[in-house]
Chain A
Amino acid sequence: MGPIGENEFFFLMQGLKWTVLLAIVGFIGGGIFGILIALLRTSKTKVARRITAGYIGVFQGTPLLMQLFVVYYGVALLGIEVNAWIAVAIAFTLHASAFLGEIWRGSIEAVPKGQTEAANALGLHYVSRMKDVILPQALKISMPATIGFLVQLIKGTSLAAIVGFIELTRAGQIISNQTYRPLLVFGIVGAIYFIICWPLSHAGSGLEKRMAKAVR
């Protein structure tokens, strides 16, 4: 058994950096495409609604690990020379866009219909109606679920380890193989995830309770 010293801890922190970066890129990229998905999903065009419903269904009905594999090898087939980091980031962006799109669709539909009618009565066109009236309210409604998904996404980045990408979990695996102290290493790795995810989960459920009270 080897000791867990400064070097090992530094290596884990290097992994953590990639975990955080992956989660941020996936969340921002997924957020941008997610709004688009949510808008198309709630649009008046039937074809757009159908296509986005299918897109969401596929990502919610298949394992994240398979999505990673398919995108990882699919991007390589396109003949573009991309490194593992970009392939994995694309996969998480697509995954997040489907889930956030579905969450935000629900929130847009939860905004009272009167708001849309009032905006129409005021003569607001689609962009202004969405940007100034509906989306700000929908965003507020969606906050607990959005934060909940962020926690899912942070945990989900651990699957990049199976594709071979060195983030926190993969770094833990490597250290564990070197030091033969799997319980200590995965205990530390789990604790790091917990320290990141728990405050977010807590904030999300706190917000949910406050909003439930406000409705009552």
Chain B
Amino acid sequence: MTYGFDFGAVLDRAPELLWGSLGTLGLALAGMLLALVIGIVGVVARTSKSEITRTPVIVFVEVVRNTPFLVQIFFIYFALPLMGIRLNPTVTAIMALGINGGAYAIEIIRGGVESVSRGQIEAGFALGLHKADVFRLIVLKPALRAIYPSLTSQFIMLTLTTSVCTSIAAYELTSAAQRIESDTFRSFEVYFTVTAIYLVISTLMMGLFALISRHYFNYPTR
């Protein structure tokens, strides 16, 4: 083996990697928020009595969960301009991430909502609470605690998925890596370094989520 590693060429571009990392975090955060909104709206529609609102949500969830994110992002990337919507790649990427994450969020949140027993909801109505209050206080909060572990690991997966957004040239870490690679030809060093950065990001997120959980869900249940 005669290959000489040269990480210096990669470290020279540290500012770009830092900006790329911030881009990744921004994409992930915006994607998560959109996913959460889609998830909550989707669950309300999915658990309603009307078939007209239930069926489209079921189809949406099944289609998104059984096709690759890469195909979804290409589809959205090409579909938007045909609908007369011109967005920059980064905004398009956020939409794709939100739609993808939203489908998973619907299933996770639905599981949490269904875990709240019928009697609790009836008790809420018996106490004279409004429908919205029953949902917010009796369904949402305990359900949040129940879904927190799977929802947060889904968020970490979403963060890792942002790397695929390089395929439409969104501003994030992987596309920064590809730029550096094409300038320096240090392919292995670049991707090794960037992989390590992703590992740091996901590890920090895990720690942060655990910390939040300890603070906000630290009440006894029975």
- Which A residues are closer than 8 A to B by beta carbons? 58, 61-67, 69-70, 73-74, 76-79, 151, 155-156, 158-159, 161-162, 169, 172-173, 176, 182-183, 186-187, 189-190, 193-194, 197-198, 201
Contacts and interface: CB of A to CB of B under 8 A. Distances in A.
Given A73-B187, A162-B164, A198-B62, A193 B67 contact: yes
Given A70-B188, A190-B67, A197-B67, A61 B75 contact: no
B195 A193 contact: no
A189 B194 CA distance: 30
Contacts of A79: 1-3
B161 A63 contact: yes
B191 interface: yes
A40 B63 CA distance: 37
Of the listed residues B66, B72, B167, B206, the one surrounded by the most CB atoms of chain A closer than 10 A to its CB is B66
Nearest to A74: B188
A12 B70 CA distance: 16
B166 interface: yes
A161 B70 contact: yes
Interface in B118-165: 156, 160-164
Contacts, number: 113
Contacts of B164: 63, 65, 159, 162
B158 to A, nearest CB: 11
Nearest to B71: A190
Interface in B171-216: 174, 187-188, 191-192, 194-195, 198-199, 202-203, 206
Contact of B70 (A74, A78, A169): A169
A67 B67 contact: no
Count class of interface residues, chain B: 35 or more
A182 B188 CA distance: 32
A66 B75 contact: no
B160 A63 contact: yes
A169 B75 CA distance: 11
Contacts of A176: 74, 78
Contacts of B67: 155, 190, 193-194, 197
A201 B64 CA distance: 12
B72 A182 contact: no
Contacts of B161: 63
B70 A66 contact: no
A155 B78 CA distance: 20
A193 B66 contact: yes
Contact of B74 (A69, A73, A78, A173): A173
A134 B34 CA distance: 43
A128 to B, nearest CB: 36
21 contacts: A62-B195, A63-B160, A64-B160, A66-B174, A66-B194, A70-B191, A73-B187, A74-B192, A77-B188, A79-B1, A79-B3, A151-B66, A155-B66, A158-B69, A159-B164, A161-B70, A169-B74, A173-B74, A183-B79, A186-B75, A187-B75
Interface string B67-90: 111111011001100100000000
